[in-house]
Amino acid sequence: MVSKRWKLSHLTAFSHAQEHLRVQTIHGAIVTIIGVCVALVLFISEVQQCMVVKRVQDMRVDTSRREELHVSFNVTFPALPCEALLMDAGDVSGKWQTESRMKVAKNGEVHKHSVDISGRWLRLAEYTAPSEGEWDNPFEMNEIGAALKRHEGCNIHGWLEVQRVAGNVHFAVRPEALFLSMNAEAIMQLHPDASKLNISHANPLEGVAQIDRTATGIDKYFVKVVPTDFYTLWGRKTHTYQYSVTEYYHQFRGGEEQPPAVYLLYDASPIMVDIREMRPGLLRLLVRVCAVVGGAFALTGLFDKMVHRAVVAVKRHAV
């Protein structure tokens, strides 16, 4: 007996029939075209999913030692002149900042511009408020009275650094403006009415506006600040903040002595959020493409065999 020699071709998993044993049919061609179309659609779908960048969020305790928050603001009061507005900020630690103190300490900037009822600047030059202790000057009082009669508005914008504790940024009407808005009878009775001062405002927070209300009062925005680290697809890190807000409004009914105001009450969360951009890698794309394309052709081959056997059976039955 002649022993069979071992050949590498014995390991092949793909055996091929000779050409004269192969049968090419019309229904086989139709099934093949359908299989190629299905595989092509699945391939395009997988490539598109691989190109989509997803954002994954993780939460962790904030262990950083950042002691200050940078707060930017841009608020427009269309019915109150700059002469009648003041801004200050304070927190639970006892720190209190006024416009003049921010300028001296260089930890904030406040800019004021007169605007019309539509919010457009009336003058390019910004309004400069007098220093503390000068508001009892008769000339300054006359300026407030004249500004109230002109029915001007004010755009107040800038920035300040605050500590990472609970606090507030406060926009209020000067008591002098409340006094000058009174008529002679109210002055004689020493009974001011703050409800006559319109505290309508726009953009204390993005997309928020309280304009043309029938009454005035005190607006409070409770802001929860969440520190956030954002990582791009290429690993670049950006530190920023997210916030959620709840609004509260107390309407003046008439006869209130407290001037109307707008409060932004903030508090920093001890939980930090990491947002990362992620996209499937090339190896994952290759694995998924091989899976969907191979599966499509495997099912196509199975379907072709079923159709071929059915056709052969019909022909035999017809004969």
Mean pLDDT of 58-87: 85
**What SS3 state is found at 28?**
helix
Percent of the chain with pLDDT over 90: 15
Residues 151-187 as b or e (16 or more Cβ within 10 Å = b): ebbbbbbbebbbebeebbbbbbbbbbbbebbbeeeee
Beta-carbon contacts of 211 under 8 Å, excluding residues fewer than 6 positions away, are 78, 200, 201, 202
Q: What is the rounded distance in angstroms from the CA atom of residue 31 to the CA atom of residue 26? A: 9
**Polymer length of the chain:** 319
More confident residue, 137 or 92: 92
Q: Give the pLDDT of residue 118.
A: 78
The reported pTM is 0.69
Whether 222 has a pLDDT exceeding 90, the answer reads yes
Q: What is the rounded distance in angstroms from the CA atom of residue 107 to the CA atom of residue 113? A: 21
Whether 281 has a pLDDT exceeding 60, the answer reads yes
Whether 186 has a pLDDT exceeding 60, the answer reads no
Would you kindly state where each structural domain of the chain is located, as residue ranges?
25-52+283-318, 60-277
Element housing 278 (H / E): strand 271-278
The region that residue 154 occupies, defined by phi over 0 for left and psi between -120 and 50 for alpha, beta otherwise, is beta
Q: How many CB atoms lie within 10 A of CB 145?
A: 17
Q: What is the rounded distance in angstroms from the CA atom of residue 219 to the CA atom of residue 193? A: 18
Mean pLDDT of 200-227: 79
More confident residue, 50 or 27: 50
More confident residue, 31 or 276: 276
Mean pLDDT of 204-230: 80
Q: Give the pLDDT of residue 188.
A: 38
Average pLDDT score, the chain: 79
Whether 204 has a pLDDT exceeding 70, the answer reads no
